Amino acid sequence: MAKKQQNNNLNNNNNNSGNNGNGNNFFNNNPLLIFVIFSIVTIFAFKAIFPEQQMGGDSSNSNIQAFGQTSNKTVPYSDLKALISSGKIEYVGIGNTQIKAVSKIGTGQVTTFTARRVIPDDTLIPELEKNSISYGGINEENVLADILFGWVLPIFIFFAIWMFIAKRMQKSMGGGSGGILGIGSSKKMINSEKPNVTFDDMAGNKEAKEEVQEIVDFLKSPDRYVRLGAQIPKGVLLVGPPGTGKTLLAKAVAGEANVEFLSVSGSAFIEMFVGVGASRVRDLFEQAKKVAPAIIFIDEIDAIGKSRASGGPMGGNDEREQTLNQLLAEMDGFSTDAAPVIVLAATNRPEVLDPALLRPGRFDRQVLVDKPDYEGRIEILNVHIKEVKLGKNVDLKEIAKMTAGLAGADLANIINEAALLAGRASKDQVDPSDFKEAVERQIAGLEKKSKRISPKERRIVAYHESGHALIAEITKGANKVNKVSIVPRGLAALGYTLNTPEENKYLMQKHELIAEVDVLLGGRAAEEVFIGEISTGAGNDLERATGIIKSMATIYGMSDIAGLMVLEKRSNQFLGGQTQKDFSDAMAKDLDDHTKNLLNERYEIVLQKLRDNSPAIEKMTAELLEIEVIIGERVREIITEFGGKVFVDEDLHSDAIIETAKKEPIIEETPSNSDETTENK
């Protein structure tokens, strides 16, 4: 059967070759060369039919032509004047640059002497009149040259440009590798390589690597799956926040399988001209089939894969839709059995993709490449520090604790920034202080020691940040303090309190959200208690606190105002999240009142906490004004020194579970034939 199919394919190829031979002969494939040959033949034929003396058409050369056929001879100007003086010249024709003189008719052959005219020469005309030699003007223009350069050459240039553009347009419309000025070609936009990246270089995403492992096995030995009747997924969609390693994972799959890796960006398919994107999709899959087994990787596929319903009743982008339709057709049209080609795509906006793109048979599987957890961060750090000279006291676990919530790209940047800081300080190795400074740069921004602030403002900032730090340490559910500083950082921050959880939080309880609101209000409250006047420094804190309380009421159902109703829908979860409001004006007024009242309630509680711990605030502020920076351990020492209670090593998520378990009655198991068991239940 396979042999028969092979023979049929050969026959089809031969037939296609024969058909192409009929239409793609020498004349059709080389129209420009044919036009050049035609032009040359036409010029020579025109010259043969109309010789120069017949084309002259100017009576100014008729006197010389009247002497008939003469022999031509080029002589210097001085020799020509000597011939004129000796009386051997019958007629002289004077042009702008040349002089032609015809010898007297004698026994011998008549000769036409041609010389280059020397200007100025006032003796020529008197000499001719002295020797009674007739003279006149001659026309030096060449009509053939005028026609060639005035008509033929411009037409030739215009025709050549037209043929060039027409040929490129023909390739573009036919789905070839051309297009107007190359815009239809995808060869230059496709990066084809065999990556040397493996799963060892891809750390921190164990589950994602396990999901794509079977793709590697299929590309290495497809017969094992085909024999069992299994169909490998045609496409795998990698989703996750930016910087988590989606592209690196795709390269690692190709590197592990040792196959060709064809990568292209989704935006490369979109052009101004209609049909170009579809042509590039066809070209991409054709190239992949030629080098199969291969992996096609489309980065940021949401550029062409947006839902077709998002354009509204008037329709969306026609070019994008045509490109998407072509991609769908190509993924349906090729078989991975004959030519193993796997399509991998990456996006951080999976919610906007067209449902037809995500159905089984196209992108069968979605693999989440999320931000790494604590163990994942340690693995990523170990990968990126291979080329870095570390100090003996560098502890990667401490760095992993300080970088909760950061992606792999952020961790790589932190290590590079630490190495740059060590090099700037002329160190032989990277110390823990360099890593701490790099983490702070990543989170809070660049330190601006040169930024001058007045003593009054430094005092306000010190009290403000002390308020944040104290509330964070004495409030149950708040993130613990890592560092407090009054050194300006970033674009606008005059100081900052670094609260870094040791682990990623995938959910938050109600008391934890309230604790975060209290911490945000702590800065403004400290200004009011210890300075007696508030400032503009709490603007961002109030904005974030208001957002948390509104989210509790509108999204999480943590208020009496809306109960369990969801008033806002969240989208773009990997890009920070955006909300769409869906509630009435009356509900909006109730929501505003609820937010205002809860903020005021929490603010009063924070004020009282600060008044109760005022000695600790004063001590903390004094040290900040003196040394500008204090660490979290020192903050906790100051609080306990003045009788405050610090929540240390608290399991925040188990308290509610323990309390619920205590309330439930304990049911003892009894033998199965007892009716009392049912009654007790």
Q: Residue 496's beta-bridge partner residues?
A: 485
The rounded distance, in Å, linking the Cα atoms of 675 and 554 is: 48
How many helices and strands, by DSSP H and E, does the chain display?
27, 16
For residue 42, what is the enclosing H or E element? helix 31-49
pLDDT of 460 reads 92
Q: Give every CB contact of residue 180 below 8 A, 6+ residues apart in sequence.
A: 165, 168, 169, 172, 273
Average pLDDT over the chain reads 76
pTM over 0.75: no
Q: Is 50 exceeded by the pLDDT of residue 123?
A: yes
The rounded distance, in Å, linking the Cα atoms of 264 and 377 is: 29
Cβ density class 114-134: b for 16+ within 10 Å, e for less: ebeeeeeeeebeeebeeeebe
Report, as an integer, the average pLDDT of 444-458.
Answer: 76
Percent of the chain with pLDDT over 70: 72
Q: Tell me, rounded to whole angstroms, the distance of Cα 14 from its chain centroid.
A: 43
The string of pLDDT tens digits covering residues 290-314 is: 887 888 898 888 888 888 776 544 4
pLDDT of 513 reads 93
The string of pLDDT tens digits covering residues 539-581 is: 889 999 999 999 899 888 898 888 888 888 776 666 666 667 7
Burial (0-12, 13-18, 19+ Cβ within 10 Å), 515 = buried
The string of pLDDT tens digits covering residues 86-95 is: 877 878 887 7
Contact 168, 128 (CB under 8 A): no
Residue 59 has, within 13 A of its CA and on its CB side, a CA count of 0
Tokens 């994602």 belong to which residue?
208
pLDDT of 483 reads 86
**Pairing between β-strand 98-103 and β-strand 89-94 as defined by DSSP bridges:** antiparallel
Q: Any idea which of 32-41, 217-226, 460-469 has the lowest mean pLDDT? A: 32-41
The rounded distance, in Å, linking the Cα atoms of 495 and 55 is: 93
Catalytic annotation on 543? no
The string of pLDDT tens digits covering residues 380-399 is: 888 888 888 888 888 888 88
Structure-token pair, residue 75: 């002589």
The string of pLDDT tens digits covering residues 237-290 is: 999 888 888 888 888 888 888 888 888 888 777 765 556 778 888 888 888 888
Catalytic site residue from 211, 319, 465, 527: 465
Reported as a pLDDT band with limits 50, 70 and 90, residue 149 is low
Q: Is 50 exceeded by the pLDDT of residue 142?
A: yes
Structure-token pair, residue 622: 């004094």
3-state secondary structure of 526: helix
Burial (0-12, 13-18, 19+ Cβ within 10 Å), 144 = middle
